[in-house]
Amino acid sequence: MQILVTSASGANGNGYGSLLSFDLDGTARGTFSADPRITDPRGLSVSADRKLLYVNSGSDRILALDATGEVVRDTGPIPGLNAGGGSLAPEGRYLVGLRSARTIAAFAADLSGAPQRILPVDIVPFPRGFASAEDGTVYLASGIGPNGEGENTIAVFDAYGTPLASRFIADDAVSPLDLTIAPNGNIVVSSEFPFRAPHATTSIREYDYATGKLVRVFTPPSGIAFDQPRGLRFSPDGHLYCVARDSVLAFDFDDGRFLDSVVRMPRLNGQAVIFFPLLAD
């Protein structure tokens, strides 16, 4: 098993602009794939059989890679796509956050055909990560955009796109940057509040899936760098990982303990993190 991280580039983070691989102990393995179609990558997701890695490329296309890093599926360029996060829905479609259109679209698992919007355009001021529960319920983090537009909450929709709650949480200390669903069904978000403030408070926050009530706050000990948190994922052993600027942090989700800054890399500017089998696994 390896840890994969997308690193932003240029105006979006001055990072490496590539898909990076690390051993579970944080040792850098280098670029997972050198395919030129992967530029300024964002969202990541792994197929249910763990054979395919879906990557949202800044070149306005979605790619699927095998364990060797070879591209095996490609939507081709989709003008104006501007994809953010990505997540496989329980029924198998690949869901993608569209930052310019302020919505979520679905692709067939084989990436054939045109994307289908599952929510209306401009459904939130600025989408900041989402996840689909086993019953099809979609939780969409509504955060602050680069130009200061937006809000700080979570919107909820049923499997048919019908709004269930426009403000699922009431938390005066959150500005969500990514969202995932925990093994216990609760909603977990990474937060930088106020967004882009010089001395923003960074944290990971867990909310009850039924009520939206704040359950816990995860933070590392004083002295551990945790700047610009972004992508969240659970490891196969149930630990919670968050990629941030220059690092990937791990927490024991059961008891809330900080475990380690697993990855330390200057200019990482991570956007998404995920676990993918090594070729020899």
Confidence of residue 10 (pLDDT cuts 50, 70, 90): low
Does residue 245 have a pLDDT over 80? yes
Strand 258-264's sheet: what is its strand order?
A: 232-234, 240-244, 247-251, 258-264
Which helix (H) or strand (E) segment is 263 a member of?
Answer: strand 258-264
d(CA 61, CA 167): 31
Strand partners, 117: 105
Q: Does 40 have pLDDT greater than 70?
A: yes
pTM, two decimal places: 0.92
Confidence category of residue 276, pLDDT binned at 50, 70, 90: very high
Which pLDDT score, from 0 to 100, does residue 150 have? 85
Contacts of 181 (CB under 8 A, 6+ apart): 131, 133, 139, 187, 188, 209
What whole-number distance in Å separates Cα of residue 241 and Cα of residue 58? Answer: 23
Full set of structural domains in the chain with CATH: 2-276 (2.130.10.10)
The letter for the amino acid at 170 is A
The pair of structure tokens assigned to 225 is: 């760098």
Residues 6+ apart with CB under 8 A from 241: 3, 232, 233, 234, 235, 248, 249, 250, 251, 262, 273
Mean pLDDT value across residues 247-267: 93
Residues 171-229 have pLDDT tens digits of 999 999 999 999 999 999 999 999 988 889 999 999 999 999 999 999 999 889 899 99
3-state secondary structure of 186: coil
